[in-house]
């Protein structure tokens, strides 16, 4: 039996193929999207945990420092923690950055602790006063601000020190924290999958 130019067998094969494709393509697309989301959520959890650790260590170190002189053990503790953490996990890099008023204070007082924004993302965090999350070239990036009077920077000792020394008031940005998580190996696994 023939239907136009198609034999019955060809028509059945074509119909079955179309049904399979109409089911499999959406199912596979959903699986691909879901696994991509899972990979990014895992990178975000890693970045958030690292930044929480860095922020806790930084705040506790600052609250317990001996003064505002250079070479203070509190600063050395934070710097060493960032370096050690990044050295242990080659896919994760951590840094902190200062806002303009803090940098100006450090510069005017000849401090060697100046940590300017590393790039345009850190600069946008300072300008907007909000966290930024971005994936670019298989690197998951999270940068978030430190605002005087908010979160862990809500301690009255933070406010009194920054207001007295730098003229920073509650609600102003002190700087921020950044984490980048290299997800190249996860992306390769995702592509193979």
pLDDT for the residue numbered 132: 94
pLDDT for the residue numbered 125: 95
3-state helix, strand, coil in the chain (%, to 5): 60, 20, 25
Residue 63: CB atoms within 10 A of its CB come to: 13
Element containing residue 78 per DSSP (H, E): helix 73-88
pLDDT for the residue numbered 128: 94
- Over the chain (193 residues), the average pLDDT of each successive run of 10 is 61 71 65 75 84 80 62 68 71 89 87 83 94 88 91 80 85 91 75 68
């Amino acid at each position: 039996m023939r239907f136009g130019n198609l034999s019955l067998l060809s028509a059945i094969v074509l119909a079955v193929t179309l049904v399979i494709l109409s089911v499999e393509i959406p199912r596979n697309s959903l699986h691909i999207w879901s696994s991509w989301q899972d990979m990014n959520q895992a990178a975000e959890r890693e970045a958030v945990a690292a930044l929480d650790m860095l922020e806790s260590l930084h705040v506790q170190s600052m609250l317990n420092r001996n003064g505002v002189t250079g070479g203070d053990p509190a600063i050395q503790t934070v710097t060493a923690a960032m370096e050690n953490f990044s050295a242990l996990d080659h896919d994760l890099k951590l840094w902190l950055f200062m806002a303009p008023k803090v940098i100006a204070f450090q510069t005017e007082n000849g401090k060697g602790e100046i940590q300017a924004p590393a790039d345009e993302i850190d600069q946008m965090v300072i300008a907007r006063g909000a966290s930024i999350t971005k994936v670019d070239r298989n690197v998951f990036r999270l940068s978030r601000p430190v605002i005087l009077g908010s979160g862990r920077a809500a301690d009255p000792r933070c406010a009194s020190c920054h207001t007295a020394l730098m003229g920073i008031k509650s609600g102003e940005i002190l700087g921020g924290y950044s984490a980048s998580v290299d997800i190249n190996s996860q992306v390769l696994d995702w592509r193979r999958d």
